[in-house]
Structure 1
C-alpha cells in the first residue's frame, strides 16, 4: 500500500522572504489515499508579531503562541513523521516555500520538490475556470464545512483528505480501498427463514370502498372477465 502525507501550514503572512513565519503545522498519514488515523500537529512560536489580518484568518494571536516550541525544536519530529512519502497540500508551493525557509533557518535541507502533490493544480485541471479553493471544492463534493470557522491547519487537513479522495476517484473508490485495508468491518445479512408470513387481508369495509371506487371508472380492468 502506498503511503503519502497530506499537510497544511498556517503562517503570520503571505511571504517568507519578507519575514513571515510558520505558526502551525498539521499532517495526516494516508495509505492508498485513505487516512490511517496517524497525525502530526504542532503550534510554533514564530518569534515575531502576528498581524491582525493574519489572526482573522487562522484565529491565532501572538499571545496564543507565546511559549510554544520553535520550529527548530519540532523539525526533527516533523521530518520523521513525513519520511520520504509524497507530500500533498492545497496550493502546495505556498506551504513548501514556507517550510523550505524554516528548514534553511534551522540548517536543514529543503524538501524535494519531486515529492510535491498540489491538489489545487489537480482541481484546476479537472474543473477549469471554476473556483477551486478548499471551501469551493468541499461545497462541490458536498463535504461538511460547518466546523470551519477559521483556517485551522488540522481541520483543513481533514477536509482536504476528503477532497483529495474525490479528486482521485471519489468515495466509491474509497470504499473499495478501505475494504482492501480491512478498514471497513465485514457485515453479513442473513434472511430469517423461521418467521411466519403475515398475509395482508382487507376488511369488509375496505372491500366495499374498493368496489364503489371501481363503479366510478369506465371499463375498469379489474372487473374484466
Structure 2
C-alpha cells in the first residue's frame, strides 16, 4: 500500500457527471462518499507520527491537514497484491492519513479469510495505530512489514521487527509493487488533473486494467520458463 501525490485533480476542472457516471463504476476506485463517511467517523491519533523510527511524512497528522483550494483530489492511495496486480484505489482529499490504509484493510478482509501480509512504508506506525483503533480479530489476520527498500530509513529495532527480510513467509518479495505501479501511472498525471472526475477515473481504470493484463501475462511467461 502507498499514496501517490502526483495523481491530483484540479477543482477548476469540475466534476462533470460525477464519479457514478464512470463507465467502469467502482472496478478499482472505491465510492468516494463511502470513503469520506469512513474518514469522518475514523479517529485520528494525534500522537501518531513516524519520528520514532523514520523521517517519512506518510501518516503524519500535521501533513494530513494540508489541503489546497486548487485541488479537490490531492492524490491516490492504492494497494496491489504480491504479483503487482492492483487491488483497490482511493481518491485522497487530505494528506496520507492512516485512515486510508485502514479503510482498505477493512474492505479487503471482508472477503479474505487467510492471513494477510501488509507491506507499507510505515507499517510499524500503522500497526501501532491499528492496535488502538481496530478489533483484535483484524490484527490477528494481518502481519505488518516494511518493504525492503524503505526499511533502511527505519531504525535498527524497527527493521528487525518489521523489515521484509525478517518477515516470515514473504520470501524474496520486495513489497515495492505499488511503487512500480505509481511509476507507470505518473505518465497520466498531466492530463488526468484537467479532466472531469468521471473521465479521470475511466482513464486511470483503463490504465490499471492494462497494467493488470500485462502483469498476468508476465506471470504466465515466468511460469512457462520455469517449466
Q: What TM-score comes out, normalization by structure 1 length? A: 0.30
Tell which has more relative contact order, 1 or 2 (C-alpha 8 A, sep 6+): 2
Q: What TM-score comes out, normalization by structure 2 length? A: 0.30
Larger radius of gyration: 1
